Structure 1
Amino acid sequence: MNKRDYYLKLIKKIEGRIEFCEEEVQCIENSIKKEQQYLNKLEDELNTLEAVKEDIFNKLL
């Protein structure tokens, strides 16, 4: 194998690794988006529960 072929093969390997890493990054970004949506849902639920608690507390006064 000459130098040119060696470097072309190496470049192909690197390109494959880059594609794999890009796919991994995309999966991680999607996972983060899902977790963020879940956290937003929990925050909304918490805000609702706090409002209900405050309303009940005010009615007791």
Structure 2
Amino acid sequence: MDDLLEADDHTIARRMNEEVEIFVGPRPEQYTWILKLLKTRKPGEIQPYKRKDLYPIK
């Protein structure tokens, strides 16, 4: 992926998605399950996947 060192944002995002597709393709149901798990939180529950110093909750 050395070709991405000077690529524009669109190209980098496209390549990243292509790489994800390689891993997700064989078992897409596993990807959607874990993605939902990581995004789902009850109101007031700690959000362990966010860093408050980088992404303050508004």
User: What TM-score results when the alignment is normalised by the length of structure 1?
Assistant: 0.30
TM-score norm. by structure 2 comes to 0.32
Indicate the structure (1 or 2) with the bigger Cα radius of gyration: 1
Using CA pairs under 8 Å that are at least 6 residues apart, name the structure with larger relative contact order, 1 or 2. 2
Q: As a proportion of its length, which structure holds more helix?
A: 1
